[in-house]
Structures are given as structure tokens and as C-alpha cells.
Structure 1
Amino acid sequence: MTTIYLIRHAEAEGNLYRRIHGWYDALITDNGFAQIAALQRRFQDIPIDAVWSSDLYRTMTTARAVYVPKGLELHTDPGLREVHMGDWEDKPWGEVYRFDADRIALFNRSDPSWQAPNGDSLAQVGERVHAALCRIAGGYPDKTIAVFCHGTAIRQLLAMVKGVAPQDWHKMGHSENTAVTRLFYDGGRLTLDPDLELDASHLPEEIRTMARQNWWRKDRSVRDVNLWYRPLDWEKEKESVYLAARAEAWRSTHGPELAFDGEGFLRDAQEHLSRSPWGVTVAMSGDEFAGLLQLDTRRYQELNAGYIPFCYIAPSRRDQNLGVQLIGQAVSFFRPLGRDKLRLRCAPYNDRAQHFYQKYGFVKVGEEQGSRVPLDILEKYIGYDR
């Protein structure tokens, strides 16, 4: 009999930025690395003979918690990948709620008729992961292996193992990041250890991902805010939306005494929009304006960095932890351009903004020269090779 520890990956960008990541190759977050450290402590005294993971970055990185300290090789199998989200890949959850409401409703209730547009169905991912796990386990008779996989993939696998009928898939629990399930493989059949299913007891509450989210709770009276994005309508919104936001941000940061150069900001915005319709991006929560994100493809290009001249959350939305979703939108804009860093500027006395950027991985790399106000240059690494 083979013993299998089936483990979900640590918190990744999709979990943090509220984006749809199936086969999209997302990075682990800083909080995710804290979860990996906790997982490593959990497995330090558990004998493991082999380690497998899907071939995606977030599972392979999480697997370091086991294979590195035990001196083992990491094996990968694409059959262990997450559900393929097809045309939804790397879209914000808020966008599919907005523009594909019927299909996302099917997904949310685990309806067996659901299928991602040009992607997997729930049955397909369950069957694929079941076949891969049986194939892998068959190569390790009487051994113990650790296998790193993904949330929906694990959920659908467990539905198969437990014999849950498709009409009851919605009753299956959701997996916390790095949660551990123990299975046994014998005679070509997988069985579940009922004493160890989706267990995340190694994680303190403060680093649990799902503790900060509400989408999985039965009580849906408190809902997560998932943003969607559209380009700024320059003719209709350059003053009422863009310039108004710029003025509010300037005065709240620098005070009313320092003159606001509205014309200069408008020139910069128009230049960025001339290069991309997303040069000034409007963040929306349902029908309501939630913020702005300005993106410059030229500045710092020689450093392989994407530049964010303006990252703004509307005052009414500033206590909802939405700014990180804007960072996620910037990552998704610049990463396909080959940029491995984000850069922005922040006044050293803007304590709230400084704290926010530090929390999400930005570090000071310099100071702006020749500006009207003191500005720190902050940078966040978004590449794959660290």
C-alpha cells in the first residue's frame, strides 16, 4: 500500500490579487512563503520517499517545503495541474461576474454542466488528476509520497474518491492553502484517510488565506469585493474622473499649500494613453468607480521594469483592502511585456501608502531627483527566477 500526502500549494498571486489562475503560472506571495515555512515544520519528522507536483510554479515552489530539507528530487506531472480556465485565465474575478454571470454562477455552485470557455469541465479535471495520482502512486509500492496540487483539482479528486454524485459536488469543502490530505493507494484504488482531510492545523490564523476571504462561507451576508477594469474614456472622464482623482490624491498627500499641476498630469496621462488604451485604467466595483491605475510602458524600460505613475483607490473604498488588486492588474499588464519588476514613486511622509507598498513587496531602491516634492522610488520583483 502506498501512502500519499496530497497538499495544496501555498498562497499565490491569484489568491491575493483576486484573479482567475488555473494554468496561468502565478508566483507565490510573501504570505505564501510564510505558509511554506509552516508546512516545512509540519513535515520535518514525517518520512517521505518521493515528492511530486504539477509543473506549475506555485506547486513546485511549495514542494520545496518537503523535497529540499529531505534531500529529494522533485518530479513533475502536468496531469496534476489545476482546472484549465480557458478564456478566463488571468481575468479578474470581478470581470467574469460582470460579463459572464450565468457561467460563473454555475461554477460557484459546482454545477456538473459548467465548463470554462475553451477550458476544462469539473469532471475532466477530477478524472485527469485521479489518473495522474494513480499512475504516480503505482510507482511507489509500500512507500510514502508527497504530491502537490491545486484547490479545485483536489476538490474534484476527493469527490471521485469519496463517491460524491455530481449533483452533490457543491457540498464538498474548500481547501486552505497548504492544507494536507492523506490518501492510500492499493490494488489500483485510492481511498481517503478520514482522520486527515484538508487539514491546515500547521497554519496560525494570521497567515491563513481563507480567513481573510468570504467567498467560501455559507453565510454570504458579507461579500468580497472583486474589481473589474476598463480603459478611461478620455473625452468624457479626463476631468470628472482622472483629474478629480489626481487632485484629491495630491492634496491629501501634500496638503493644499503646494500648487497642483493639473495640466502636467493631463499631458502625462494623454501620453500614456497614446501608447496603450490601458495607459489609464479605471477600476470598477460593480457599477461604481473604485480607483485608477496609470501605466507607463517607457519609463524604466531599460531596467526591464514597468512603471506605475498613479495607483489610486477612491476615498469611499480605502478600508476594503482593494489596492492590492490594482497591483495585480499592473502585474498582468507588464508581465506579458517581459517586465520582471514594477516601479512607482511614493512620498516618504505618505505613511499609509508606504506601509501598503511595503506590505506587498515593494522596497526602496532610490530617490527621485529634481521633483517638486521628495519621492522615494519603490520596486517590486515580479519575475520567476528567484
Structure 2
Amino acid sequence: MTTIYLIRHAEAEGNLYRIAQGQYNSLLTDRGARQVAALEQRFADIHVDAVYSSDLYRTCATAAAIYKPKGLELHRRTDLREICVGVWEQRTWGDIARADPEQMENFSLHPERWKVEGGEAPAAVLRRVRAAVEDIARKNVGRTVAVFSHGYAIRLLLADLQGYTLEQLAATPVGDNTAVSKLEVRDGKLEVVFRDDNSHLRTPEYLAGETKGKRANGLEPGLRFLPLCPAEQAAFLDRCVRETGMAVQPDGQALVGYLGEEPVGFLQMGTEQGRIALAYIQPEYRGRGFGVQLIGQAVRLTRETGGETVLVRPGDSAAFWSRYGFRPGTQADTLEKGIGFDPAYLALPPAEV
């Protein structure tokens, strides 16, 4: 019997910050790292002969839950990648939802209609991912393998194996990060034994690390961000200054986060590389998962300047920053978060396909 465990990558930056990450590389979050540990525990007593992964960073890092403790080689394949979303790549879902609501709806509910510039057709994604998994099955007859891929790609494949058409995709579930599906080859065909199981994320050990803060989910577009324009955003900025007691610096890197047409958040970067000078969400919008999206923009702006660390003086909001991976830094009264990529998941042998 040939058995394939098909596994979605752990929570990555795009999932948390509500940014379309498609085929761009992104780090795992702190929560993602805990999911990897839970996945490792789940597979501790399961025999696995080989491990395959898409060549993107977030899947390679997640695959470490199995290939490292079992002393196996990681086989990277480009044909296991997530869908390429073309001009949507690296844009916030809030921006996409406002700019192209029809295609945003199609992406989730009507993949057969989805089409954006530079994007990969869902039908083409299904063909390449199914061909990849079938090829892996042929190369591992009678063995047990783990295959790491991505949420949209996996959902397309599982739906197809269970007899759903593209037009029926919306009727199928969306698997959580690190959700495990089990496939078996029977009479030469792939069959789904179970899908999207996340029982390893419901253990007391894992749940003990969960925070009470609101987390973004795949159904919430979130904020869109525009450059600071004091003349157009004067009333909002005045409120920001009054409530924070801090001045807005019009000559620094600054973004205003909009929910629909209303400005609700503000991010000001300081002159020191990677330093957040001011992060503000209007009180009535707090606790809804928007603050972390400011962190996502700070990470993006810092990376664009070559920085690998984001810093902030937390004031009385240390609990918020700590929730998202900021730890005491080398500077007094400062928390910092590393955003550099681990070369162990980048400097691997060339992908097979």
C-alpha cells in the first residue's frame, strides 16, 4: 500500500498579516513555529520513508517537522507550489477586495471564473499539483511519504479526488495551517482516506500557547494601506495625535490603513532602520485583528531597505507586541523581532521540477 500524507504549511506571515503571498517567500510566525512542533509530535511514531515539499520557504520550514527528526532528505519540487496570483502578489487582501471585488469573490467561490494579470489559472494549478502527487506515488510504490504544499493548491486537489468540479469548490472545506490529509493508492488511483485533520492543534499542550487576542482568518480581507497625505487625512491624524500624544512626521515612511473608505490605523516608521515610531488603531476598531496588519507593513518596509529586524518602544502595549513575536532587544526599553530568512531553508539543492 502506498500512503501519502498531504500537509499544508504552518501559519506564515501572509496568513497573519492578510497579505497575498502566492509564490512569494514568507517566514513562519511564532504560532506557525508552535504548529510545526505539534506536527512533529503527531508524526513521532508514524513511519515515513520520504518527504517532499514545494520549494517555497514556508513549506520547507514546515517539512522540518518530519524530515529532520527522522533523518530524511527533503525533496523540493516547484510543481507543489501555491497558485501564482499575478499582480495580486504581496498586496493586502483589503486592497484587493476594494480594487477588484468581483475577482476576489471568484477566487474564493468561483475559481473557474478567476482571472487576473499574471495569475495562474486554478485549473492549471490542479493539473500540475495532481501530476506532481501522482508522480511521487509512482516513485514510492509501497512506501509512506509526506508531501507539503499550500492551502489553495491542496484544496483544489482534494476536491478533485473527491469528485468535485471547479464550479463546486466552494462546497469543500478549507484546511487549517498544518492540516493533514491522508491519501492511499488503490487499484492505481489516489483516494482520500481523510482530509484536513487538525487534531494535533487541539491538544492541551498546543492550546496552552494560544493567546486570547483576535487572529485574522482567511475570510477577512482586512485593511488596505495608502501613503500619508495630511491634507486628505487631517481629521484622522488630529485624532491620532490627541490620543497618542505623539507628533506625525510627514517626511518619514508612513502609511494609513483603511477599512473600506474609513481610515482606522496609522503606521509611522522612524529614521533608524526597522524602527516603528508610531502604530495606532482607533479605539473602536481595536481587538479585531487590525493592529497586527500594521506590523505586516512595518516588516515589508523594513525588508525593502534590507533590514532584518523590526524594533519598537512598546510603552504600555508590551503584551500586544509580545503576542506577535517581539522580544527584549539590545536597546533599553525596546522590543525587537527578527525578520531575516533562515538560510537552512533557502540554501538547499535545486528543486527537482
- TM-score normalised by length of structure 1: 0.82
Q: Secondary structure at the match of 1:63?
A: helix
Give, in angstroms, the shift of residue 42 of structure 1: 0.9
Specify the alignment match of 2:154 in structure 1.
154
Specify the alignment match of 1:286 in structure 2.
260
Q: Secondary structure at the match of 2:266?
A: strand
1:341 lines up with 2:294 in the alignment: no
Q: Secondary structure at the match of 1:202?
A: helix
Structure 1 Cα separation of the partners of residues 78 and 181 of structure 2: 20
- Between 1:358-367 and 1:182-191, the stretch displaced more is 182-191
Gaps of 5+ in 1: 217-223, 251-261, 273-278, 301-305, 369-375
Structure 2 Cα separation of the partners of residues 42 and 142 of structure 1: 22
Q: Secondary structure at the match of 1:173?
A: coil
What amino acid sits opposite 2:269 in the alignment? L
Alignment of 1:73-112 (within 5 A): 73-112=73-112
Structure 2 Cα separation of the partners of residues 79 and 73 of structure 1: 18
Specify the alignment match of 2:228 in structure 1.
232
Specify the alignment match of 2:326 in structure 1.
362
What amino acid sits opposite 1:232 in the alignment? L
Give, in angstroms, the shift of residue 245 of structure 1: 0.6
What amino acid sits opposite 1:315 in the alignment? P
Q: Deviations over 1:223-269 (max 9, x none)?
A: x46111111213343x533343123112xxxxxxxxxxx7xx35xx1
Specify the alignment match of 1:259 in structure 2.
none
Query: Which structure 1 residue ranges, 4+ long, deviate > 6 Å from structure 2?
Result: none
Give, in angstroms, the shift of residue 90 of structure 1: 1.4
Structure 2 Cα separation of the partners of residues 8 and 57 of structure 1: 13
Structure 1 Cα separation of the partners of residues 170 and 221 of structure 2: 22
Give, in angstroms, the shift of residue 270 of structure 1: 2.6
Alignment of 1:228-377 (within 5 A): 228-237=224-233, 239-250=234-245, 265-266=247-248, 269-272=249-252, 279-296=253-270, 298-300=271-273, 306-347=274-315, 350=316, 353-367=317-331, 376-377=333-334
Q: Secondary structure at the match of 1:170?
A: helix
What amino acid sits opposite 1:200 in the alignment? N
Alignment of 1:179-190 (within 5 A): 179-185=179-185, 189-190=189-190
Contact in 2 for aligned 1:86/1:117 (Cα 8 Å): yes
> What count of residue pairs does the alignment treat as equivalent?
337
Specify the alignment match of 2:339 in structure 1.
382
What amino acid sits opposite 2:244 in the alignment? A
Distance 1:81 1:214, change over 3 A: closer
Contact in 2 for aligned 1:176/1:208 (Cα 8 Å): no
Distance 1:208 1:190, change over 3 A: farther
Structure 2 Cα separation of the partners of residues 187 and 42 of structure 1: 29
Contact in 1 for aligned 2:215/2:289 (Cα 8 Å): no
Q: Secondary structure at the match of 1:230?
A: strand
Let me know the Cα RMSD of the aligned residues: 2.1
Contact in 2 for aligned 1:9/1:149 (Cα 8 Å): yes
Structure 2 Cα separation of the partners of residues 188 and 246 of structure 1: 66
Q: Deviations over 1:139-187 (max 9, x none)?
A: 1111110001111100111122222122212111110111111112356
What amino acid sits opposite 2:195 in the alignment? E
Structure 2 Cα separation of the partners of residues 58 and 358 of structure 1: 22
Q: Secondary structure at the match of 2:141?
A: coil
Structure 2 Cα separation of the partners of residues 127 and 331 of structure 1: 34
Structure 1 Cα separation of the partners of residues 102 and 277 of structure 2: 36
Q: Secondary structure at the match of 1:346?
A: coil
Distance 1:280 1:28, change over 3 A: same
Structure 1 Cα separation of the partners of residues 68 and 111 of structure 2: 39
Q: Secondary structure at the match of 1:25?
A: coil
1:176 lines up with 2:176 in the alignment: yes
Contact in 2 for aligned 1:177/1:208 (Cα 8 Å): no
1:49 lines up with 2:45 in the alignment: no
Q: Deviations over 1:103-156 (max 9, x none)?
A: 111112133121343111211111111111111221111111000111110011
Contact in 2 for aligned 1:138/1:188 (Cα 8 Å): no
Q: Secondary structure at the match of 1:66?
A: helix
Give, in angstroms, the shift of residue 16 of structure 1: 0.8
Structure 2 Cα separation of the partners of residues 164 and 240 of structure 1: 51
Q: Secondary structure at the match of 1:198?
A: strand
